[in-house]
Amino acid sequence: MSAITPSRSQPEFRVTLACFGLIALVGIVAGWGQGNLPQRGPRPAVAPTNSTTPDLALYQAVISDVRHGRDYYDAAHERIPQFGFPISSPLNWRLPTYAWLLSLLPNKCWIQGVLLLLGIAGLWLTYAAERVTLDVFPAACTTLVMFGVFRWVLDGDAYLAQEVWAGVLIMISVAALRLGENSWKWRTLAASAGITALLFRELALPYCLVAGGLALWQRRYWEAAVWGKGIVGFSLLLVWHVLKVRAELAEDDITGGGAGLAQWIRCGGIDFVLLTARMNSLLFHCPAALIWLYLLLALVGLANRTDFASRVCCLSALLYMLAFAVVGRPENFYWGLLYAPLLPAGIAVAPQVLSAHRSVAAEETHSPSAQPIA
């Protein structure tokens, strides 16, 4: 049960190994002392009364307001500056989806319960999907590494963060993609979970674009149409959202802050990429060198798997890392939860990939055709 494509010659293996070693070395040197967790800034003027961080307390307050019948945009207009966050740009306002959906649940226990069930389902589907092509041990390893994503479900008030919901939904989507090679039902679940993640957090867009684009490239037209309709629906919601925010704000609020997308263009390079990779909680306190090796091995593993889901994960992860090398402030490192579910399937098979490359190259070296002619 192998979905890995090894290299076919000893020279190719040596070149691959040399390139891998060079990239690993350059990354370790360039990332030395990088990717450190940022220090917390000053508390907002109106701080929450408990240990909840200001952003999570903001989401909690807005959800409560909407649950009690208040309009989302009225509540957000009041609450965002109250908790010390800028309000001058529509990009500083989260999509209303989280407040609309989570306010339908009676209390925080229900919200935590639903998220917990989704996370458990994601882990179970991950293991089931890996067992289609892998043996028990690598499938279990993938699930174990994926637990680093699931663990945020259990982390205090993190259930209020849209990134946690989006990360869990992408976990489900990736597993369903892997199970859906020959099943339209699983593909439908994959697209539905991915689009729902996008509605929770617009940063899920790269994953959805890659999944839909690859489906179209492989002439899976029905599947591509599902992704396309979801992305169009999200785009319409985003346009409506921006118009609603601008209607809420006075003219001086919009122009006075002078901060749009430019406030996130920091060109943090490998520093911010390593920082976002910490959002697999198993890596949260690891040295930067180990995180870099994790990223590299995960991409090598994904690139050598032949299934559709692995191609989606590999291209999406690369797209996220390239984007985060340019966009994002240090305190935004939690954005890494959007691509954290894409990597475990690669890291679990990386040793098998390297072993397969070496074995095939060694077999060719010792084959009769490889021996010199006397």
Burial class (CB in 10 A: 0-12, 13-18, 19+), 269: middle
In the chain, the DSSP E strands lie at none
Range scoring the smallest mean pLDDT among 11-25, 29-43, 123-137: 11-25
**Residue 259: pLDDT above 60?**
no
Query: What is the CA 120 to chain-centroid distance, rounded?
Result: 17
Structure token pair of residue 205: 């867009």
Say how many domains are in the chain. Answer: 1
pLDDT band at 258 (very low <50, low <70, confident <90, very high): very low
258 belongs to a structural domain: no
| Residue 1 forms part of a structural domain | no
337: in domain: yes
Separation CA 188–CA 325 (nearest Å): 32
pLDDT tens by residue, 307-328: 899 999 999 999 999 999 888 8
CB count within 10 Å of CB 117 equals 12
**Model confidence pLDDT, tens digit, residues 224-249:** 999 999 999 999 999 999 999 988 88
Residue 336: predicted pLDDT:
94
Q: Which two tokens stand for residue 89?
A: 């740009």
Q: What is the mean pLDDT of the chain?
A: 83
Residue 3 in any domain: the answer is no
Whole-prediction pTM:
0.86
Percent of the chain topping pLDDT 90: 56
Q: What is the CA radius of gyration of the chain?
A: 22
371, part of any domain: no
Q: Half-sphere exposure of residue 22, counting CA atoms within 13 Å on the CB side? A: 6
Q: What is the pLDDT of residue 330?
A: 85
Q: Is residue 295 part of a domain?
A: yes
Q: Which residues contact 112 (CB under 8 A, 6 or more apart)?
A: 159
Structural domain of 298? 10-35+51-251+265-364
Q: Is residue 41 part of a domain?
A: no
Distance CA 6, CA 361 (A): 9
pLDDT at 43: 47
Structural domain includes residue 280 = yes
138-166 residue pLDDT tens: 899 999 999 999 999 998 899 999 999 99
Q: How far is CA 328 from the centre of its chain?
A: 14
